[in-house]
Amino acid sequence: MKRSIILLALLACIAVPTFAAPAPSKVVANQSIASRTADLAVVHDVVANEQVAAVLAAHGFTQEQVNTRIAQLSNHDLHQLAQNLNQVQAAGLTHQQWTLIGIGALAAIILAIVL
């Protein structure tokens, strides 16, 4: 009796069809047109900067290519880019970093001489 109940329950579980549905890889926030326009304005302001435009041109990108690629970004990616632009730093070291490297090198030379 117990075996038949377990067998019946097992068959019931197996008989239920299961279907997998596609799941999005990113959560896309419901972004209004005004919000997308504001994000586009922020990104375009940065890309229009002389120094940024010069670096992009040095890497072979025209302003039209950059604008086209920005326009192709999803709402989520565009919003992330606009929010994180203040964290993007130019390549190279700052004056303060060079000063600290110099102090460290000088300290290493003094220690090498003393020891």
Task: Tell me the pLDDT tens digit for each residue of 101-110.
Answer: 888 888 888 8
Q: What is the pTM of this model?
A: 0.49
Give domain status of residue 16, yes or no.
no
Beta strands in 26-113 (DSSP E): none
Give the contacts of 49 (CB within 8 A, at least 6 positions apart). Answer: none
Q: Which of 88, 97, 5 is nearest to 49 (CA)?
A: 88
What is the model's pLDDT at position 8?
64
What is the model's pLDDT at position 44?
87
The total number of structural domains that make up the chain: 1
Domain that holds residue 56: 32-88
Give domain status of residue 37, yes or no.
yes
What is the model's pLDDT at position 55?
82
Give domain status of residue 56, yes or no.
yes
Mean pLDDT by 10 residues, the chain (115 residues): 68 58 54 82 86 85 88 87 74 74 86 82
What is the model's pLDDT at position 7?
64
